[in-house]
Structures are given as C-alpha cells and as structure tokens.
C-alpha cells in the first residue's frame, strides 16, 4: 500500500509542463549553493538529469554538452546537470572525465538528496531513488530576476 501511495504522490507532482514557471529552489552544486531559477535570471538555461555518475551513457552526455558549452553561452544559455549523487561523487567523476577523456566539465552539477528530483518529477516510481534522464529548457523571463 505504501508503494502505491508513493506512486500517486509522485504522479501528482509530475514534471513541470510547458509554460509553467520553474519552481524556486536552493540547490547544492559543484559550484556551491545556487538559487534556481534566480541564478540564471536574464538567461535561458538547460537543466538535464542523469541516473548516476560514472556510467557510460551519462559520461557521453556530459562530454557532448561540454563540447557545445560555448555555443550555448553564445545563445545566452547556461547548462546545469543533476543527479542524486553527492558533490564528492560529481567532483571525482569530473576529474575522471578530465583525466581519461581530456574534457573539463565547466558547468555546475546539482548534488541532490532527492528533494529536487521529487519536486521536478524525476524519480521513477518503480526504479528506486535514481533520477530519470530528462531535459528542461527554461526561458529568460523577467520574473526570475
């Protein structure tokens, strides 16, 4: 019964829909505490979640985003990653990417305890606590300033 209640609770929260405001939150990242969406006021941002650090698909995704980071910035757009891994894991993973693949990840990665992922509807109800792979494109609305 508890599992069914959790699924219903997650479905109620759900992923924010097109046109809805991005929820305000303070997040711990590899660049320190960031207030979203306020930290990117006047800019677009792409928040993308991944299930876990040190996995092949997630690593490929992060390297691909980093290789295009300058193009995003030229479009007045920032990048920010997210998973339920902790800051220490993110930093070690970033070091591994730099050492093994020669790519330095320059954008912040959110270290989530699960609160952010739940707020954004990113926890798969049947898959434990890992975040699902998702991408949010958030506009540069004045109200975020």
Q: What residues are annotated to the active site?
A: 58
> If DSSP codes are grouped into helix, strand and coil, which group holds residue 117?
helix
Q: Please give the helix or strand (H or E) that residue 9 lies within, else none.
A: helix 2-13
List C-alpha distances in Å: 67 to 1, 61, 70, 71, 88. Answer: 46, 10, 8, 9, 23
């Amino acid at each position: 019964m508890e599992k069914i209640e959790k699924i219903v609770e997650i479905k109620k929260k759900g992923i924010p829909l097109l046109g809805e405001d991005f929820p305000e939150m303070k997040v711990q990242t590899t660049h320190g505490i960031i207030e979203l969406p306020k930290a990117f006021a006047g800019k677009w941002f792409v928040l993308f979640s991944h299930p876990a650090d040190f996995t092949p698909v997630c690593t490929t995704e992060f390297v691909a985003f980093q290789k295009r980071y300058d193009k995003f910035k030229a479009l007045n757009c920032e990048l920010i990653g997210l998973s339920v891994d902790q800051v220490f894991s993110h930093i070690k993973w970033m070091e591994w990417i730099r050492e093994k693949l020669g790519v330095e990840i320059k954008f912040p990665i959110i270290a989530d305890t699960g609160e952010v992922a739940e707020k954004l509807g990113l926890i798969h109800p049947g898959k434990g606590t890992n975040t699902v792979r998702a991408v949010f494109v958030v506009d540069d609305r004045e109200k975020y300033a």
